[in-house]
Amino acid sequence: MSDFDEYDVEFDKLKDLERTDIARVASFNKLEDRSRKKKLRILPMIASSVVVSVVALFLVLTLFEYVPNLGSGKSIIDDQTELEIPIVEVTANMFTVEYGIDNMDRGNHDYETTGTDKRIVIDLGVSNFKRGDIVYFKMPVYSNENSGLNLKEHQLSRIVGLPGEKIEIKKGQVFINNQKLEAFYSIPTVRGMAMEEYFEKVSSQNTMMNEEDFQENMESILVPEGSVFVLGDQWWRSVDSRHFGPISLSDVEGKVLGYDR
Residue % of the chain over a pLDDT of 70: 70
User: CA-to-CA distance for 154 and 140, rounded, in angstroms?
Assistant: 9
User: pTM of the prediction?
Assistant: 0.71
Give which of 109, 143, 215 is closest to 172, Cα–Cα: 215
In this predicted model, what pLDDT tens digit does every residue of 77-92 receive, in sequence order?
A: 999 999 999 999 999 9
Q: Where does the pLDDT of residue 127 fall: very low under 50, low under 70, confident under 90, or very high at 90 and above? A: confident
Average pLDDT over residues 27-44: 57
Average pLDDT over residues 50-71: 41
**60-74, 114-128, 238-252: least confident range:** 60-74
- Where in the chain are the domains? 1-67, 76-260
Q: What is the pLDDT of residue 11?
A: 46
Residue 257 · residue 84 · CB < 8 Å: no
User: CA-to-CA distance for 88 and 91, rounded, in angstroms?
Assistant: 9
Q: Please give the C-alpha separations between residue 242 and each of 52, 92, 105, 118, 169, in angstroms, as whole numbers.
A: 44, 34, 18, 29, 9
Average pLDDT over residues 18-28: 56
Residue type, 148: G
CA torsion angle 82 83 89 93 (round to 10): 70
Q: What is the pLDDT of residue 238?
A: 95
Cα 236 from chain centroid (whole Å): 25
Give which of 89, 163, 82, 158 is closest to 119, Cα–Cα: 89
Counting other chains too, the contacts that 148-153 makes at CB distance below 8 Å and 24 or more residues apart are: 149/239, 151/239, 152/100, 152/101
Q: Which CATH architecture has domain 76-260?
A: Ribbon (2.10)
Q: Where does the pLDDT of residue 151 fall: very low under 50, low under 70, confident under 90, or very high at 90 and above? A: confident
Burial of 173 (0-12, 13-18, 19+ CB in 10 A): middle
CB atoms within 10 A of CB 249: 15
End-to-end CA, the chain: 132
Q: Is 8 helix (H, G, I), strand (E, B) or coil?
A: helix
User: CA-to-CA distance for 182 and 201, rounded, in angstroms?
Assistant: 24
Q: Which has the higher per-residue pLDDT, 233 or 69?
A: 233
Q: Which has the higher per-residue pLDDT, 142 or 78?
A: 78
Residue % of the chain over a pLDDT of 90: 63
Supply the DSSP symbol for 108: S
In this predicted model, what pLDDT tens digit does every residue of 82-121 receive, in sequence order?
A: 999 999 999 999 999 999 999 999 999 999 999 999 999 9
In this predicted model, what pLDDT tens digit does every residue of 218-246 receive, in sequence order?
A: 999 999 999 999 999 999 999 999 999 99
Pairing mode of beta strands 94-97, 87-88: unpaired
Give which of 134, 171, 168 is closest to 255, Cα–Cα: 134
Q: What is the pLDDT of residue 251?
A: 96
User: CA-to-CA distance for 96 and 92, rounded, in angstroms?
Assistant: 12
Residue 121 · residue 194 · CB < 8 Å: no
Give which of 206, 127, 216, 205 is closest to 170, Cα–Cα: 216
- Does the pLDDT of residue 1 top 70, yes or no? no
CA torsion angle 235 237 241 244 (round to 10): 150
